[in-house]
Protein backbone atom coordinates (compact mmCIF):
# COMPACT_ATOMS: atom_id res chain seq x y z
CA UNK A 1 0.00 0.00 0.00
CA UNK A 2 1.51 3.31 -1.07
CA UNK A 3 1.86 6.15 1.43
CA UNK A 4 -0.43 9.13 1.43
CA UNK A 5 0.78 12.04 -0.65
CA UNK A 6 -0.34 15.64 -0.36
CA UNK A 7 -2.37 17.03 -3.25
CA UNK A 8 -3.29 20.57 -4.13
CA UNK A 9 -6.41 21.67 -2.28
CA UNK A 10 -6.01 25.45 -2.50
CA UNK A 11 -6.91 27.97 -5.16
CA UNK A 12 -4.44 30.74 -4.34
CA UNK A 13 -1.14 31.03 -2.49
CA UNK A 14 -0.23 34.46 -1.15
CA UNK A 15 2.71 35.99 0.69
CA UNK A 16 1.73 38.14 3.66
CA UNK A 17 3.28 39.94 6.61
CA UNK A 18 2.86 38.18 9.96
CA UNK A 19 4.20 38.38 13.47
CA UNK A 20 7.97 37.96 13.27
CA UNK A 21 8.28 38.31 9.50
CA UNK A 22 6.38 36.99 6.50
CA UNK A 23 4.46 33.83 5.72
CA UNK A 24 2.60 32.01 2.96
CA UNK A 25 -1.14 31.45 3.13
CA UNK A 26 -3.11 28.94 1.08
CA UNK A 27 -6.63 30.33 0.69
CA UNK A 28 -5.97 32.26 3.90
CA UNK A 29 -4.61 29.27 5.82
CA UNK A 30 -1.03 29.71 7.07
CA UNK A 31 1.51 27.18 5.81
CA UNK A 32 3.26 24.99 8.38
CA UNK A 33 6.66 23.31 8.18
CA UNK A 34 6.98 19.51 8.13
CA UNK A 35 7.56 19.69 11.91
CA UNK A 36 4.31 21.70 12.22
CA UNK A 37 6.08 24.94 13.12
CA UNK A 38 4.85 28.26 11.78
CA UNK A 39 6.32 28.99 8.35
CA UNK A 40 7.75 32.44 9.09
CA UNK A 41 10.57 33.80 6.91
CA UNK A 42 12.64 36.99 7.22
CA UNK A 43 11.83 38.78 3.94
CA UNK A 44 8.83 39.44 1.75
CA UNK A 45 10.88 38.37 -1.29
CA UNK A 46 11.45 34.93 0.24
CA UNK A 47 7.77 34.56 1.12
CA UNK A 48 6.78 35.58 -2.40
CA UNK A 49 9.20 33.06 -3.92
CA UNK A 50 7.82 30.31 -1.68
CA UNK A 51 4.24 31.31 -2.51
CA UNK A 52 5.06 31.09 -6.22
CA UNK A 53 6.29 27.52 -5.65
CA UNK A 54 3.05 26.58 -3.90
CA UNK A 55 1.06 28.27 -6.65
CA UNK A 56 2.92 26.28 -9.32
CA UNK A 57 1.89 22.89 -7.87
CA UNK A 58 -0.65 20.90 -9.84
CA UNK A 59 -2.14 17.70 -8.52
CA UNK A 60 0.35 15.96 -6.23
CA UNK A 61 2.62 18.31 -4.28
CA UNK A 62 6.25 17.75 -5.29
CA UNK A 63 8.69 19.12 -2.69
CA UNK A 64 11.65 18.63 -5.04
CA UNK A 65 10.21 21.43 -7.21
CA UNK A 66 10.05 23.79 -4.21
CA UNK A 67 13.67 24.67 -3.32
CA UNK A 68 12.87 27.92 -1.51
CA UNK A 69 10.20 26.29 0.63
CA UNK A 70 12.48 23.34 1.41
CA UNK A 71 15.40 25.56 2.41
CA UNK A 72 13.16 27.70 4.62
CA UNK A 73 11.72 24.57 6.24
CA UNK A 74 15.26 23.37 6.96
CA UNK A 75 16.17 26.70 8.55
CA UNK A 76 13.07 26.66 10.75
CA UNK A 77 12.91 22.98 11.71
CA UNK A 78 16.56 21.94 11.78
CA UNK A 79 18.79 24.96 12.25
CA UNK A 80 16.73 26.26 15.12
CA UNK A 81 18.08 23.34 17.15
CA UNK A 82 21.28 22.39 15.27
CA UNK A 83 22.72 25.83 14.52
CA UNK A 84 26.00 25.49 16.44
CA UNK A 85 26.55 21.96 15.15
CA UNK A 86 26.14 23.05 11.54
CA UNK A 87 28.38 26.09 12.06
CA UNK A 88 31.11 23.78 13.35
CA UNK A 89 30.62 21.37 10.46
CA UNK A 90 30.95 24.11 7.85
CA UNK A 91 33.78 25.99 9.53
CA UNK A 92 35.77 22.73 9.52
CA UNK A 93 35.94 22.94 5.72
CA UNK A 94 38.55 25.64 6.27
CA UNK A 95 40.93 22.94 7.50
CA UNK A 96 40.76 21.07 4.17
CA UNK A 97 39.47 23.68 1.73
CA UNK A 98 39.39 22.55 -1.89
CA UNK A 99 41.40 25.58 -2.99
CA UNK A 100 44.32 24.63 -0.77
CA UNK A 101 45.03 21.18 -2.23
CA UNK A 102 46.57 21.31 -5.68
CA UNK A 103 47.45 18.79 -8.35
CA UNK A 104 51.09 17.76 -8.66
CA UNK A 105 50.70 17.49 -12.44
CA UNK A 106 50.31 17.78 -15.33
CA UNK A 107 51.69 21.30 -15.57
CA UNK A 108 48.67 22.63 -17.48
CA UNK A 109 46.27 21.54 -14.71
CA UNK A 110 48.56 22.97 -12.02
CA UNK A 111 48.56 26.28 -13.89
CA UNK A 112 44.78 26.24 -14.36
CA UNK A 113 44.20 25.69 -10.65
CA UNK A 114 46.67 28.41 -9.68
CA UNK A 115 45.11 30.92 -12.06
CA UNK A 116 41.63 30.38 -10.60
CA UNK A 117 42.36 29.55 -6.97
CA UNK A 118 45.31 31.79 -6.00
CA UNK A 119 43.30 35.03 -6.43
CA UNK A 120 40.56 33.60 -4.21
CA UNK A 121 43.02 32.73 -1.44
CA UNK A 122 44.38 36.27 -1.76
CA UNK A 123 40.82 37.56 -1.43
CA UNK A 124 40.21 35.39 1.64
CA UNK A 125 43.34 36.76 3.29
CA UNK A 126 42.46 40.35 2.45
CA UNK A 127 38.66 40.53 2.76
CA UNK A 128 37.91 37.72 5.19
CA UNK A 129 41.02 38.21 7.29
CA UNK A 130 41.75 34.49 6.95
CA UNK A 131 44.95 33.61 5.08
CA UNK A 132 45.17 29.94 4.15
CA UNK A 133 48.14 27.90 2.92
CA UNK A 134 48.10 25.92 -0.32
CA UNK A 135 50.00 22.69 -0.92
CA UNK A 136 50.63 20.25 -3.76
CA UNK A 137 49.14 16.81 -3.16
CA UNK A 138 46.56 15.45 -0.74
CA UNK A 139 48.60 15.14 2.47
CA UNK A 140 46.92 17.25 5.15
CA UNK A 141 48.56 20.49 6.21
CA UNK A 142 47.63 22.54 9.26
CA UNK A 143 46.10 25.95 8.60
CA UNK A 144 46.74 29.01 10.81
CA UNK A 145 44.62 28.72 13.95
CA UNK A 146 43.79 32.44 13.76
CA UNK A 147 42.38 31.96 10.26
CA UNK A 148 40.27 29.00 11.32
CA UNK A 149 38.90 30.94 14.29
CA UNK A 150 38.08 33.85 12.00
CA UNK A 151 36.26 31.60 9.52
CA UNK A 152 34.31 30.00 12.36
CA UNK A 153 33.25 33.43 13.63
CA UNK A 154 32.18 34.57 10.15
CA UNK A 155 30.13 31.40 9.69
CA UNK A 156 28.48 31.79 13.09
CA UNK A 157 27.50 35.37 12.16
CA UNK A 158 24.95 34.11 9.61
CA UNK A 159 21.36 33.80 10.70
CA UNK A 160 19.69 30.40 10.38
CA UNK A 161 18.22 31.15 6.93
CA UNK A 162 21.55 32.35 5.57
CA UNK A 163 23.24 29.32 7.13
CA UNK A 164 20.82 27.00 5.31
CA UNK A 165 21.97 28.50 2.00
CA UNK A 166 25.61 28.65 3.03
CA UNK A 167 25.55 24.95 3.94
CA UNK A 168 24.81 23.96 0.36
CA UNK A 169 27.23 26.50 -1.14
CA UNK A 170 30.07 25.01 0.92
CA UNK A 171 29.08 21.33 0.83
CA UNK A 172 28.54 21.27 -2.94
CA UNK A 173 31.71 23.20 -3.82
CA UNK A 174 33.89 21.65 -1.13
CA UNK A 175 35.20 25.11 -0.31
CA UNK A 176 34.48 27.48 2.55
CA UNK A 177 36.22 30.25 0.60
CA UNK A 178 33.98 29.76 -2.43
CA UNK A 179 30.92 29.74 -0.18
CA UNK A 180 31.90 33.11 1.27
CA UNK A 181 32.78 34.45 -2.19
CA UNK A 182 29.22 33.78 -3.37
CA UNK A 183 27.58 34.90 -0.12
CA UNK A 184 29.44 38.21 -0.24
CA UNK A 185 28.92 38.82 -3.95
CA UNK A 186 32.59 38.45 -4.87
CA UNK A 187 31.70 35.72 -7.38
CA UNK A 188 28.49 34.77 -9.12
CA UNK A 189 27.15 31.31 -8.40
CA UNK A 190 27.99 30.23 -11.96
CA UNK A 191 31.58 31.43 -11.60
CA UNK A 192 32.05 29.74 -8.24
CA UNK A 193 30.63 26.45 -9.43
CA UNK A 194 32.89 26.33 -12.48
CA UNK A 195 35.91 27.17 -10.33
CA UNK A 196 35.02 24.33 -7.97
CA UNK A 197 34.89 21.84 -10.85
CA UNK A 198 38.30 22.49 -12.42
CA UNK A 199 39.51 18.95 -11.71
CA UNK A 200 36.33 17.36 -13.07
CA UNK A 201 36.39 19.56 -16.17
CA UNK A 202 40.01 18.59 -16.80
CA UNK A 203 39.20 14.89 -16.54
CA UNK A 204 36.27 15.29 -18.95
CA UNK A 205 38.55 17.06 -21.44
CA UNK A 206 41.05 14.21 -21.28
CA UNK A 207 38.77 11.17 -21.07
CA UNK A 208 35.47 12.44 -22.42
CA UNK A 209 32.14 13.05 -20.71
CA UNK A 210 30.46 10.24 -18.83
CA UNK A 211 26.69 10.47 -19.36
CA UNK A 212 25.71 9.48 -15.83
CA UNK A 213 28.31 11.78 -14.30
CA UNK A 214 27.10 14.61 -16.52
CA UNK A 215 23.53 14.22 -15.25
CA UNK A 216 24.76 14.31 -11.65
CA UNK A 217 26.77 17.41 -12.47
CA UNK A 218 23.68 19.18 -13.81
CA UNK A 219 21.76 18.36 -10.63
CA UNK A 220 24.68 19.48 -8.47
CA UNK A 221 24.93 22.80 -10.29
CA UNK A 222 21.19 23.38 -10.05
CA UNK A 223 21.30 22.83 -6.29
CA UNK A 224 24.24 25.24 -6.03
CA UNK A 225 22.41 27.94 -7.99
CA UNK A 226 19.30 27.44 -5.85
CA UNK A 227 21.37 27.87 -2.69
CA UNK A 228 22.81 31.12 -4.03
CA UNK A 229 19.35 32.35 -4.90
CA UNK A 230 18.09 31.51 -1.41
CA UNK A 231 21.01 33.42 0.10
CA UNK A 232 19.96 36.44 -1.95
CA UNK A 233 16.36 36.13 -0.74
CA UNK A 234 17.55 36.39 2.87
CA UNK A 235 17.93 40.14 2.35
Question: Mind listing the pLDDT tens digit for each residue in 11-37?
Answer: 999 999 999 999 999 999 999 999 999
Distance CA 190, CA 165 (A): 15
Domain count, the chain: 2
Band of pLDDT at residue 209, cut at 50, 70 and 90: confident
Question: Is the residue at 71 inside a domain?
Answer: no
pLDDT computed for residue 59 by the predictor: 87
Q: Are 120 and 196 within one domain?
A: yes
Q: Residue 54 sits in which domain range?
A: 13-66
pTM for the model: 0.95
CATH assignment of the domain containing 22: 3.30.2180.10
Decide the pairing of beta strands 21-26 and 13-18. antiparallel
Statement to judge: residues 176 and 216 lie in one domain: yes
Any domain includes 2: no
Q: Rounded distance, CA 206 to CA 2, Å? A: 46
Residues 88 and 129 in one domain: yes
Per the domain annotation, does 163 fall within a domain? Answer: yes
Do 166 and 86 meet the contact criterion of CB atoms below 8 Å apart? Answer: no
pLDDT, tens digit, 9 for 90 and up, residues 48-98: 999 999 999 998 999 999 999 999 999 999 999 999 999 999 999 999 999
Amino acid sequence: MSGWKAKRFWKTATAEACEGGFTVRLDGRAVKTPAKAAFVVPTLAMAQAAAAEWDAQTGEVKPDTMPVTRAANSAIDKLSVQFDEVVGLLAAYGETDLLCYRATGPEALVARQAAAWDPLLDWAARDLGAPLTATAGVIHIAQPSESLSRLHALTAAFDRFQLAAFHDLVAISGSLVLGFAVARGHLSADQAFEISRIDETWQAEIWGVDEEAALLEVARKQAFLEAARFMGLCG
